[in-house]
C-alpha cells in the first residue's frame, strides 16, 4: 500500500519531511523525498515534476484546503491528493501528500493535529481535534495545558530536559522529533510522534508542534515504570515529600518526577505560574543566583490549593544538570507543618482570598476530573 507523506510546515518558509507512512524522517529534505516518490511512479515522469509537487504542497499550505487532482499518464490515470493538518488557530502545521494509480484504494491517513507552545504564557494551546488522538479523550480536553500536564499524558518518554531546553530558548531556532507512549485516565495506551520547531515572529514566541497518532494494534504497550522509579515514588510518598522540576526564572512547574503533591493545585490553570503565590514568585526566581554559589537552597513558599487559597510549602532546591543555562532546578516539596500553615496563610493586604475572588482555571473540567479520579 502506498503511504502518505507528511511534510511539516511548522516555521515560515520551511518545509521538511516528518514521516513517510509509519516511518519517521526527522526533518528530512523534502526535495529528496519527493524525487524518490516520483521514482516509484515512473509513469508520472512526463506529467509531474518535483516542482509541481512542491507547488501543490505550497497551495495547500497557503489556502488551508486539500486537493484531489487527476494526473493523466501513458499508463493510466493517477491521483495526487493533499490534506492540510491544522493547529489551534487555523494555521497549517503540516501537509499530507499521496500519489498513486487512480484505480487503487487510498489508505486513511492517521489522525494528526498541530499545537502551539506559547512561552509568554507557558501554555500549550491545543485544538479540540486533539481528542481524535489515542490518549487524548474528550473528557480531558482543555484549550490550554501546562507543559507539566502534557508530560503527565506522555509519560513514557525520556527527553524531558532536551525538550524543555528547546521550549524555553526559542531564539536558537531548535527542532526536535521524538515518539512517546501515552496513557489516558481510562488506562488506554497509544503512541504519538511529535515534531517541534521553535519560532519567534508575528505569530508569537515559542514553538509549533505536529503530533501524529502512530498507535497500531501491534503497538508496544506503555512501558511499565522501572522498579527503581516505583521505589523512589513510594519512598517519597511515605515521607510526605514529592519531587518536581521547577523552571526558576519563570516560576512554574515543568515536570513531576513523582506523583504530584496532592495539596497543590497545579493543573487546569489558565496561567501555570498561579500555582505559586504572586508575592512569592520573586523569592523563587531569586534562588537562581543562590544555586550558582551553592549546591542547594531551602525556602518556604505559598502554593495554591484545591480550595482556592494558598498554603505554605517547604522546598529544597538543587541545580539540575545543565543549570544555570536552562534555569531548571530539582525541587523536593513537603507540606508545611500545621502550625506553620496557620501562621502564614494570611495574605498581604489587597490579596486576601486572591484565588477565591477570581476564576483561576478550568473549574468545571477540574471538578469532573477530580470526581472521576475519586470514583476510579
Q: Where are the beta strands (DSSP E) in the chain?
A: 5-8, 16-20, 23-29, 67-73, 76-86, 92-101, 112-118, 123-125, 144-145, 175-183, 189-201, 204-213, 241-247, 252-256, 297-304, 310-319, 328-335
Its pTM stands at: 0.89
Domain limits, the chain: 5-109, 111-223, 225-376
Q: Does the structure show a pLDDT above 50 at 356? A: no
CA distance 123 to 197: 16
For domain 111-223, the question of CATH label 3.30.450.20 is answered with: yes
Mean pLDDT over residues 224-233, rounded?
54
pLDDT value for 189? 80
pLDDT value for 39? 86
**Which is the CATH superfamily of the domain at 225-376?**
PAS domain (3.30.450.20)
Pairing of strands 189-201, 204-213: antiparallel
Domain 5-109 identical in fold to domain 225-376: yes
Mean pLDDT over residues 8-24, rounded?
95
Indicate the range of 34-48, 228-242, 247-261, 307-321 predicted with least confidence.
228-242
Contacts of 305 (CB under 8 A, 6+ apart): 263, 264, 265, 311
Mean pLDDT over residues 139-155, rounded?
90
Which is more confident, 117 or 204?
Answer: 117
> Percent of the chain scored above 70 by pLDDT?
85
> Percent of the chain scored above 90 by pLDDT?
65
Q: Does the structure show a pLDDT above 60 at 353? A: no
Cell of 65: 484546503
pLDDT value for 275? 97
**If you count DSSP H runs as helices and E runs as strands, how many of each does the chain have, helices first?**
10, 17
Burial of 274 from C-beta contacts in 10 A (0-12 / 13-18 / 19+): buried
Longest dimension (CA), the chain: 86
pLDDT value for 220? 52
Indicate the range of 60-64, 137-141, 183-187 predicted with least confidence.
183-187
Mean pLDDT over residues 109-118, rounded?
97
Question: Average pLDDT of the chain?
Answer: 87
For domain 5-109, the question of CATH label 3.30.450 is answered with: yes
Mean pLDDT over residues 307-317, rounded?
94
Amino acid at each position: 500500500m502506498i503511504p502518505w507523506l507528511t511534510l511539516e510546515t511548522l516555521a515560515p518558509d520551511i518545509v521538511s519531511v516528518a514521516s513517510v507512512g509509519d516511518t519517521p524522517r526527522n526533518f528530512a529534505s523534502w526535495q529528496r523525498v519527493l524525487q524518490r516518490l516520483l521514482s516509484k511512479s515512473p509513469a508520472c515522469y512526463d506529467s509531474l515534476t518535483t516542482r509541481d509537487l512542491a507547488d501543490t504542497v505550497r497551495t495547500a499550505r497557503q489556502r488551508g484546503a486539500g486537493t484531489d487532482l487527476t494526473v493523466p499518464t501513458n499508463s493510466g490515470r493517477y491521483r495526487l491528493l493533499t490534506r492540510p493538518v491544522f493547529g489551534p488557530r487555523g494555521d497549517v502545521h503540516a501537509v499530507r501528500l499521496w500519489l498513486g494509480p487512480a484505480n487503487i484504494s487510498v489508505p486513511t491517513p492517521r489522525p494528526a493535529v498541530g499545537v502551539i507552545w506559547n512561552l509568554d504564557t507557558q501554555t500549550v494551546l491545543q485544538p479540540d481535534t486533539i481528542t481524535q488522538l489515542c490518549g487524548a479523550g474528550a473528557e480531558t480536553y482543555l484549550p490550554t495545558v501546562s507543559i507539566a500536564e502534557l508530560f503527565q499524558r506522555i509519560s513514557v518518554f525520556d527527553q524531558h530536559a532536551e525538550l524543555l531546553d528547546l521550549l524555553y530558548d526559542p531564539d536558537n531556532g531548535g527542532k526536535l522529533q521524538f515518539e512517546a507512549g501515552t496513557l489516558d485516565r481510562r488506562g488506554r495506551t497509544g503512541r504519538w510522534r511529535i515534531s517541534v520547531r521553535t519560532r519567534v515572529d508575528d505569530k508569537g514566541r515559542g514553538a509549533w508542534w505536529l503530533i501524529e497518532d502512530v498507535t497500531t494494534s501491534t503497538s508496544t504497550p506503555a512501558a511499565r515504570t522501572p522498579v527503581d522509579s516505583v521505589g523512589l515514588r513510594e519512598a517519597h510518598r511515605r515521607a510526605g515529600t514529592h519531587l518536581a522540576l521547577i523552571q526558576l526564572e519563570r516560576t512554574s512547574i515543568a515536570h513531576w518526577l513523582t506523583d504530584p503533591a496532592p495539596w497543590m493545585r497545579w493543573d487546569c490553570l489558565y496561567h501555570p505560574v498561579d500555582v505559586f503565590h504572586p508575592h512569592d514568585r520573586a523569592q523563587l526566581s531569586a534562588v537562581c543566583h543562590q544555586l550558582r554559589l551553592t549546591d542547594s537552597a531551602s525556602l518556604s513558599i505559598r502554593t495554591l490549593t484545591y480550595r482556592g487559597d494558598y498554603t505554605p510549602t517547604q522546598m529544597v532546591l538543587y541545580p539540575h544538570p545543565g543549570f544555570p543555562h536552562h534555569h531548571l532546578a530539582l525541587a523536593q516539596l513537603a507540606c508545611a507543618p500545621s502550625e506553620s500553615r496557620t501562621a502564614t496563610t494570611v495574605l498581604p493586604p489587597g490579596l486576601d482570598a486572591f484565588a477565591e475572588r477570581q476564576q483561576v482555571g478550568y473549574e468545571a473540567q477540574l471538578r469532573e476530573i477530580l470526581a472521576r479520579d475519586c470514583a476510579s
